[in-house]
Structure 1
Amino acid sequence: MYCGSHNATTSAWGKLTLSKATKLPKMNISNWELGVVLPITEESDFPTPYQRPAPRYRPGQEAWTQDMDY
């Protein structure tokens, strides 16, 4: 489980630019934020939008990927 800011601004994520001196890419970050990742175990009471532990794939079942067409 992730606990932290969900700030999607350029300040938070940075901006990729080209250095005028070296002509190489550089990342400009003007803000540092902290996020914490907590493990979710079978004993955890945190609600999740999925079944824990995840069920095993059945024979012939294709693993999900974000590129699948439905």
Structure 2
Amino acid sequence: LPASFIGSRRWSSENTADGLALTCVKGTPSYFVTFTCNADWPEIKSCLAPGQSASDIPIIVARVFKQCLQQF
């Protein structure tokens, strides 16, 4: 699969190479922050129709995650 296919082996390799290149240019990072998303967040649940789960509509999870990340 091409690198344009998110999740493919080429995509992963290119992103890894980009991360390593950033380390060469900027130096090693001082901090590593992990931010997780909970599929049971009220912001996600309120956007789902009855019977749907967060895995049925991943774009909703991505949007809520992005909003929370921007507030962080």
Give the structure-2-normalised TM-score.
0.19
* Larger RCO, structures 1/2 (Cα 8 Å, 6+ apart): 1
Greater C-alpha radius of gyration: 1
Greater share of helix residues, 1 or 2? 2
